[in-house]
């Protein structure tokens, strides 16, 4: 009996080593070690043996089972490694395939969104202005009516750059410093949008990124009112999302606008998305930039482009937007 057990175990072990797929191995596992296997059959016959034989046969059976179980586990590991390698090979990107004249990739969703938004605003008569991502305290804060110790500075979770005086150079926390640059260098009427990347020192999660994108809009002219602000926001959101989307304004506070509001966009299913801030440019900001607030008034609004695009395309985790995974990128 013991010889039979060893012979069967040896044959079984060869078949396990030869299993070509994980499915084949699972079938073998059941056939060789399951309830109806030959080895299990010996167990049933053991009842008819005398106690000494029962002990030696039992030991041989256990040894055979354990050996085969180990062989199955080892082969499973090998087959999984092979499968993983094949998967990696199948998903491999050959970047040398990129050749001139071939359709090689496309712009990132955020870049596409900026281009589309710029087109919308250019169509409404705006120009596009850009500014530096590393800026000074004056442009990011002070000119925007944030006093030296203004508590609203803390709301901006700033990354400081180790350059010049302490806290003098910052990664811009919003695109509003570009407003300041435009007002300092141009005379009204000003109708401009400022797209760009901004930085906040905060933890990232599905709805927050430490590096994200804003588009800001600035108008300075004679006779500009809050009505112009509200209608411009409504106009651009309908142009971007479609006529089924509505907007609302809620009172808020920003040092650089007065009055200030936050604006939300209502999706066709009725739910609201908090999108950005807005308001009438504060007279102090106009004066700081060399514009006479007795002659000119203006409005500004700014919003997160990542959230805007994520909402339109159903991206539920903003962190996906920083992913290099082509399976994500190819969808847009």
Check binding of 158 to ligand PHE (CB under 6 A).
no
Indicate which single residue of 25, 278, 280, 315 sits in contact with ligand PHE (rule: CB under 6 A). Answer: 278
Indicate which single residue of 141, 146, 245, 254 sits in contact with ligand PHE (rule: CB under 6 A). Answer: 254
- CB of 173: closest distance to ligand PHE in angstroms? 7
* Number of amino acids touching ligand PHE (CB under 6 A): 12
- CB of 217: closest distance to ligand PHE in angstroms? 8
CA dihedral 322, 324, 330, 332 (to 10 degrees): 10
CA 218 to the chain's CA centroid: 28
- CB of 320: closest distance to ligand PHE in angstroms? 22
Stretch that binds ligand PHE, among 46-54, 64-72, 273-281, 317-325 (CB under 6 A): 273-281
Q: Which residues of 297-329 are buried (b: 16+ CB within 10 A; e: fewer)?
A: bbbbbbbbbbbbbbbbeebeebeebeeeeeeeb
Per-position x/- string for 73-102, each x denoting binding to ligand PHE as judged by CB under 6 A, each - no binding: ------------------------------
Check binding of 191 to ligand PHE (CB under 6 A).
no
Indicate which single residue of 195, 196, 279, 298 sits in contact with ligand PHE (rule: CB under 6 A). Answer: 279
DSSP assignment of 161-212 equals: ESSSSTT-EEE-SSSHHHHHHHHHH-PSPEEEEEEEEEE--S--BTTB-SEE
Q: Which is nearer to ligand PHE, 64 or 300 (CB)?
A: 300
Q: Which is nearer to ligand PHE, 19 or 229 (CB)?
A: 229
User: How many CB atoms are closer than 10 A to CB 127?
Assistant: 13
Furthest C-alpha separation in the chain: 113
* Dist CA 259 CA 257 (whole Å): 6
Q: Which is nearer to ligand PHE, 65 or 172 (CB)?
A: 172
Stretch that binds ligand PHE, among 8-16, 274-282, 311-319, 322-330 (CB under 6 A): 274-282
Q: 38-45 and 2-18 are packed helices; what angle lies between their axes, rounded to 10 degrees?
A: 160
* Dist CA 167 CA 267 (whole Å): 40
Read off the tokens for 223: 């006779």
Check binding of 255 to ligand PHE (CB under 6 A).
no
* Dist CA 10 CA 245 (whole Å): 72
- CB of 174: closest distance to ligand PHE in angstroms? 3
- CB of 278: closest distance to ligand PHE in angstroms? 5
- CB of 122: closest distance to ligand PHE in angstroms? 19
Indicate which single residue of 65, 139, 153, 174 sits in contact with ligand PHE (rule: CB under 6 A). Answer: 174
Check binding of 300 to ligand PHE (CB under 6 A).
yes
Per-position x/- string for 214-233, each x denoting binding to ligand PHE as judged by CB under 6 A, each - no binding: --x-----------------
Q: Are 156 and 173 in contact (CB under 8 A)?
A: yes
CA 34 to the chain's CA centroid: 47
* Dist CA 128 CA 122 (whole Å): 8
Q: Which is nearer to ligand PHE, 39 or 143 (CB)?
A: 143
* Dist CA 1 CA 58 (whole Å): 11
Check binding of 176 to ligand PHE (CB under 6 A).
yes
Which of the 8 DSSP states describes residue 156? G
**Site for ligand PHE, rule CB under 6 A:** 174, 176, 216, 254, 257, 276-279, 300-302
């Amino acid at each position: 009996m013991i010889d039979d057990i060893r012979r069967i175990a040896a044959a079984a072990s060869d078949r396990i080593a030869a299993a070509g797929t994980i499915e084949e191995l699972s079938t073998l596992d059941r056939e060789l070690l399951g309830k109806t296997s030959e080895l299990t059959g010996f167990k049933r016959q053991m009842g008819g043996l005398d106690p000494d034989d029962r002990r030696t046969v039992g030991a041989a059976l256990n040894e055979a089972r354990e050996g085969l179980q180990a062989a199955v586990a080892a082969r499973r590991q090998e087959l999984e490694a092979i499968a993983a390698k094949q998967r990696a090979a199948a998903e491999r990107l050959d970047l040398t395939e990129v050749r001139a004249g071939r359709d090689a990739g496309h712009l990132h969703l955020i870049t596409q969104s900026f281009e589309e938004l710029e087109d919308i605003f250019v169509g409404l008569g705006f120009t596009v202005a850009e500014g530096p991502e590393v800026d000074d305290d004056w442009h990011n804060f002070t000119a925007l009516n944030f006093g030296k110790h203004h508590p609203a500075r803390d709301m901006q979770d700033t990354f400081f750059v180790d350059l010049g005086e302490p806290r003098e150079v910052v990664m811009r926390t919003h695109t509003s410093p570009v407003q300041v640059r435009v007002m300092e260098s141009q005379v009204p009427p000003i109708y401009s949008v400022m797209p760009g990347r901004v930085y906040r020192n905060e933890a990232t999660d599905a709805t927050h990124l430490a590096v994200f994108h804003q588009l800001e809009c600035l108008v300075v002219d004679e006779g500009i009112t809050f009505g112009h602000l509200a209608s411009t926001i409504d106009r651009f959101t309908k142009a971007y999302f479609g006529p089924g989307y509505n907007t609302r304004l809620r009172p808020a506070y920003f040092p650089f606008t007065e009055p200030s509001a936050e604006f939300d966009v209502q999706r066709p299913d009725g739910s609201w998305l908090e999108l950005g801030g807005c308001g009438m440019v504060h007279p102090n900001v106009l004066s700081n930039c060399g514009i006479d607030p007795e002659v000119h008034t203006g409005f500004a609004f700014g919003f997160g482009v990542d959230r805007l695009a994520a909402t339109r395309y159903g991206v539920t985790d903003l962190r996906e937007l920083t992913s290099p995974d082509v399976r994500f990128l190819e969808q847009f």
